[in-house]
Chain A
Amino acid sequence: MDRITIKALIDALEASDLAELEYSQDGATLRLVKAGCAIAAPAVALPPRPPALPDAPPPAAPPGEFCSPLYGVVHLRPSPNAPPFVQPGQAIRAGQSLCTVEAMKAFTELRAETDGVVQAILVESGQEVESGQPLFRIV
């Protein structure tokens, strides 16, 4: 059962008057229950999101340099045994994942802002990087 199927089922349930939906495929069963229906514990609504915090924007990067937005440890692979997100010389598309930066077990995924080619990777995986430090040169 893939993400697209699960999402479609969730959407179908949300758009319906049904309280519950069960779906089986290839031996796996997915049961969706609307909050507040059938199961006792209701959803606890968290307070609304606050307005954006008044941070100074990170300094503008020189053209072609893709910089880290925060202090942390950079990971150039999604997991230690997986292939790297990108390689030098590789053509990339806007929105493509480039790396993650870990700080206090929170992983921030960084994606390319524009189409381009990775000319150079300026850091090693596992290295500490500062906020504003260039990570990639993309042309």
Chain B
Amino acid sequence: MAEALIHRLAEVGSTMDAARTLAEAGALHGTAVSARIQTGGRGRSGRQWLSPAGNLYVTIILRPGGDARHAPELGFVCALALAEAVDGLAGPGTRLKWPNDVLRNGAKLAGILLERLPDGAVLAGIGVNVALQPEGMPYPVTSLRALDSPAEPEDVLTALLARLHAGWAVWQASGFAAVLARWRERGPVLGATLRVRLETGIVTGSFAGLGEDGSLQLETGTGRRTLVAGDVLL
């Protein structure tokens, strides 16, 4: 197998767009595009992801094979890899918020967004607050620097890719159930109260576990709900 490249850009609109161009041109599984600055970084629902120099912005091109139903599994694989990388850089205690936000002390440290292209490639876009944490966010945020970690974005990327290499092998060999079992160790405790913002409003319930596809199971006053999209509020 030819070696996958890391493309390190000084500045880009969005690493997702740059990676999409590469993927559509046939870039190999494992190819990564990182940027020191993004001028048009984005999160879920087209929300802006502030991207000044000092943090990590990277998109990794994954080619999982299989059909579209398996693409969501990769978000869990990436979130676990990132949580393990953060543990290594800032000490244990990294938690996960459904489906793939990375938390420290109840505050958001990193976010992941995935896009599946028609040819089956999945772009995993990952933003990690390394030196800086954005101001004025509607939820608590933190950074590695605030956690007294001296890590630089390149250190995070190196650790992330190494953990992803290992996590990908687990996913292939043992399947998604093994990934979910490891996610649960870092997720909310069963029965924890969660508030989830959906397009139709906010639903509140107690955490009742994950479905075998990674969906969020919530026990509400009107019965069990299975959620596949939404923002769990911090």
Contact = CB atoms under 8 A, between A and B. Distances in A.
Interface of A: 1, 3, 6-7, 10-11, 14, 22, 28-36, 39-41, 43-53, 55, 57-58, 69-73, 78-82, 95, 101-111, 125-126, 128, 131
Interface in B48-66: 62-66
A57 B3 CA distance: 32
Contact of B228 (A34, A102, A125): A102
Contact of A43 (B12, B17, B32, B113): B32
Contacts of B164: 44, 46
Q: 6 shortest A-B CB distances, which residue pairs?
A: A79-B46, A53-B66, A46-B30, A126-B199, A104-B72, A106-B114
Contact of B154 (A35, A39, A44, A55): A39
Contacts of A34: 5
A3 B17 CA distance: 8
Contacts of B68: 69-70, 101, 108
B67 interface: yes
Contacts of B100: 104-105
B67 A29 contact: no
A8 B21 CA distance: 10
19 contacts: A3-B21, A29-B11, A30-B11, A41-B6, A41-B157, A43-B4, A43-B5, A43-B30, A45-B1, A48-B1, A52-B65, A70-B72, A79-B42, A103-B215, A105-B44, A105-B229, A107-B114, A109-B118, A110-B118
B76 A104 contact: yes
Majority SS at the chain A contact face: loop
Interface string B204-234: 0000000001110000000000001100000
B25 interface: yes
B9 A32 contact: yes
Interface of B: 1, 3-12, 17-18, 21-22, 25, 29-30, 32, 42, 44-46, 62-76, 99-100, 112-118, 122, 154-155, 157-158, 161-162, 164-165, 168-169, 172, 199-200, 213-215, 228-229
Given A105-B113, A106-B71, A10 B22 contact: yes
Contact of B72 (A52, A95, A103): A103
Contacts of A95: 118
Contacts of A69: 67-69
A51 to B, nearest CB: 6
B229 A72 contact: yes
A36 B2 CA distance: 13
Nearest to B115: A107
Nearest to A77: B46
Contacts of B69: 55, 69-71, 131
A7 B11 contact: no
Nearest to B200: A126
B215 A33 contact: no
A75 to B, nearest CB: 8
